[in-house]
Structure 1
């Protein structure tokens, strides 16, 4: 399994379509954290970012996943159709980074939406937003977009990457009128400067398509996974933010007219 072969498949909807497959870490059911309602969440393997606080470091590398046909995932998601519809939920593709495998993700979104009738959500950093075709985005109802910091140096420290592709993708989603939930992880001593939060909030408010902001308090629940993988967890000594600090961050987003939870 290599990144170079991930999308060497016929795109969804082609006349002579071969079975589409991708590298998948796992799938699960969740409620309230991966989009509205109860959701079938597919976690794809591989991510170009190296976030210091990643809670799923076991999804970062392709080799930690397995090759799975889209048919298998759609059949699994179909088992929960009655429950998901009753709960006002849908299907979310997360990771890792789904847009590292855009053809596979696009196939799943198309089938989740048109075969199963599910509300669809893309959970992404936006760094690979240029890989999301307009056809893929047409089958996405909601984008969960991580904006990890406004300060460029902090963003690179957190992720190892540049912020600009994420901002470009955010603007494109706004131009398309695609609903977005912004996700912001509050990390004491790293992303919690009020000026930093204010700039993220102002940008999100300027887009016009952000219906919600999730302020997510940093935690160390994934630390054991880092250790099991032989990876250094650089934030082991960083505390979680206090409830007051989280509330203050939410107030900053709310001051821009955004719904912050």
Structure 2
């Protein structure tokens, strides 16, 4: 594990305990937690220790809140998350996974189908070229295979999309994404994440070059235009 946020308000419904796991196979250009990428870092916790933390916070969760596991990429530890989420469900605590959707094996499927009340799926880009540019990896289709599996399960899903001027905020890409997902029944909303540079100092402290330092932040007009396009396809469009 990398860290824990006690009262997260941007990582799923309600107030949440957010567990950030260590390790990710992608190296997204805009990553604001690059210190979670290394798979060899972090601190080990026993499942029951985390469950007891969540139980103590249960009065603050209310009807909507719960536990979100993020990262890094949490599904790299799907096998270990199964007993964790199983215990949370036994305690009546809502469970959520924030993922890039690159991993789908029998452990992941059990976790998703049996114990994850919600999945927040990060859509990096709609083209193979754009996906590779942003993540450093090929095969964007893994994300869409993951989305199809979640849709088939009939369980709730949110989409997330980072809006980067000149890279992901192009109208044709937004329309393509909307058209692809418009018939999905499980998608409750899409969250737009306006591009920011808050993680640059972390890249520098790791001795890595931040390649998007010349990219600018979105204007209000650009964000409004993106929302207007996506509202044609999704029930709810939220700007984080």
Q: Does 1:88 align with 2:64?
A: yes
Q: Which runs of 5+ in 1 are unaligned?
A: 1-23
Of residues 68-77 and 116-125 in structure 1, the stretch that sits farther from structure 2 once superposed is 68-77
Q: What's 2:51 paired with?
A: 74
Q: 4+ residue runs of structure 1 moved beyond 2 angstroms?
A: 29-32, 129-135
Structure 1 residue 131, shift from structure 2 partner: 5.3
Residues 231 and 131 from structure 1, CA distance in 2 versus in 1: closer, same or farther, beyond 3 angstroms? farther
CA drift at 1:62: 2.2
Cα distance in 1 for partners of 2:144, 2:110 equals 20
> Given the alignment of the two structures, is residue 177 of structure 1 paired with residue 154 of structure 2, yes or no?
yes
Distance 1:38 1:257 in 2: 24
Match of 1:238 among 215, 220, 231: 215
Verify the 8 A CA contact 1:205 1:258 in the aligned structure 2.
Answer: no
1:160 paired residue number = 136
Indicate yes or no: 2:103 matched with 1:128.
yes
1:117-155 C-alpha deviation (Å, 9 max, x unpaired): 111101000011335444312111110000111021001
- Aligned match for 2:36, one of 59, 72, 80: 59
8 Å CA contact retained: 2:160, 2:193:
yes
TM-score (norm. length: structure 1): 0.87
The alignment's C-alpha RMSD in Å is: 1.4
1:49 aligns with 2:26: yes
User: Normalising by structure 2, what TM-score?
Assistant: 0.94
Contact 2:190 2:234 in 1 (8 A): no
Out of 83, 86, 94, the position equivalent to 1:119 is 94
